[in-house]
Amino acid sequence: MASTDRPTRGAWAAGGNESELRISVPRLAIISDIHGNRVALEQVLRDCEVRNVDAIFCLGDIVGYGPEPAECLALVRSNCRLSIRGNHEDALLHPEVTKSWNPVARAGIAFARRTMSPDSLAFVGSLPSSFAISETLLGVHDSPVPTEDGMTYLRTKQDAAEAFGWFGERFCLVGHTHVPSCFTTGVKSARDSIGVTDVAEHDLHVHGHSVQGHSIQGHSIQGHSIQGHSIQGHSIQGHSIQGHGIVIELPKAGRSIINPGSVGQPRDRDPRASYAVLDIGRNLLELQRVEYDVAEVLRRSLAVGLPPIVGERLAMGA
């Protein structure tokens, strides 16, 4: 999101088609950070069908890193009621910003630009950078907190306490970290001072999965270090990763910040695709983890000439 898109405090403008979205959407699927991983996205869309969601909202970073950005964009276009731009869509439109990116991220944007049709690029350019629906939902890619330059990360209770001061809707949906999270506060108004002690952080770790001690179909991933994760001796072969989720109750008289995690590149050491279902009518948040064929994504990444680490890191959830 460009800094010029940032609102002043308490002045978020509606984005998307608000009148259409004012209809009842009691069960809303929230997806984010797909990153060209079509295999994961297709599995998540199938899971959404099973869970009877009324609409799917996408929080951006549809492209980048992965081998099928154009296909993911087409799927989002046809399946999501609303989507916004992430920083990777911004980079697609303004590739000069990738000069400061790491080579793997830069390669993903260069590949996406080579494979994207003019119509797809025009669609990306048409996406809003945020949406706000009546007094219920605010959606941004990274954080409601304005930044001078580029994106910021909303990771901690301290980050959340600051963020709660910048929006008044009941729910603020964010992505960008690739790690699912949920923060709530009983403080109703963004105008009131909010400290860390006013914020609760909810555990969204879905148990029953470990990435320890497996091997990755003959590909060595030794020695790679990605964003502080040291990837050694893990794999995707032989995993039995059952798709399941957890449900938490949100406060009826308060506000929540919800990050659904990443569909196509989770970074919380759980390789399963991550997304959320927000049941607005019942004040429930469901975090779902969905198994998909990680090895197939690795194969597709290598087939189109992307760096091996693009597929290999997926096995680690890193």
Chain positions contacting Fe ion, by CB under 5 A: 33, 61
37 vs 184, beta carbon nearer Fe ion:
37
Residue 257: closest CA among 197, 193, 168, 195 = 168
> Which residue of the chain is nearest Fe ion when measured via CB?
61
Nearest distance from residue 66's CB to Fe ion, in Å? 11
CA distances, 96 to each of 106, 113, 230, 236, 255 (Å): 10, 12, 30, 35, 37
Sign of the dihedral through C-alpha 20, 87, 138, 204: positive
CA–CA dist 115, 92 (Å, integer): 11
Q: Which residues pair with 256 in a beta bridge?
A: 171, 184
Nearest CB to Fe ion, comparing residues 144 and 266: 266
Q: Minimal distance in Å, beta carbon 133 to Fe ion?
A: 23
Complex with Fe ion: residue 47 or 61, whichever CB lies closer: 61
Which of 33/71 has CB closer to Fe ion?
33
- Strand-strand pairing, 199-202 and 181-185: antiparallel
CA proximity to 266, closest of 215, 318, 192:
318
Measuring CA to CA, which residue among 31, 100, 41 is closest to residue 66? 41
Minimum CB distance to Fe ion smaller for 235 or for 270: 270
- Closest CB to Fe ion among 61 and 68? 61
Cβ at position 193, least distance to Fe ion in Å: 31
Helices (H), 153-293: 157-164
Minimal distance, residue 61 CB to Fe ion, in Å: 4
Quote the least distance from Cβ 221 to Fe ion, whole Å.
Answer: 21
21/127 with CB nearer Fe ion: 127
The least CB distance from residue 126 to Fe ion, in Å, is 20
The b/e string for 251-267 (b: 16+ C-beta within 10 A; e otherwise) is: eeebbbbbbbbbbbbbb
Output the smallest distance, CB 54 to Fe ion, in A.
25
268-299 burial, b at 16+ Cβ within 10 Å, e below that, comes to bbbbbbbbbbbbbeebebbbbbbbbebbebbe
Question: Residues 272, 154, 136, 58: what is their CA dihedral angle, to the nearest 10 degrees?
Answer: -40
Distance CA 170, CA 307 (A): 41
Closest distance between Fe ion and the C-beta of residue 33, in Å? 4
| Closer residue to Fe ion in complex, CB, 16/266 | 266
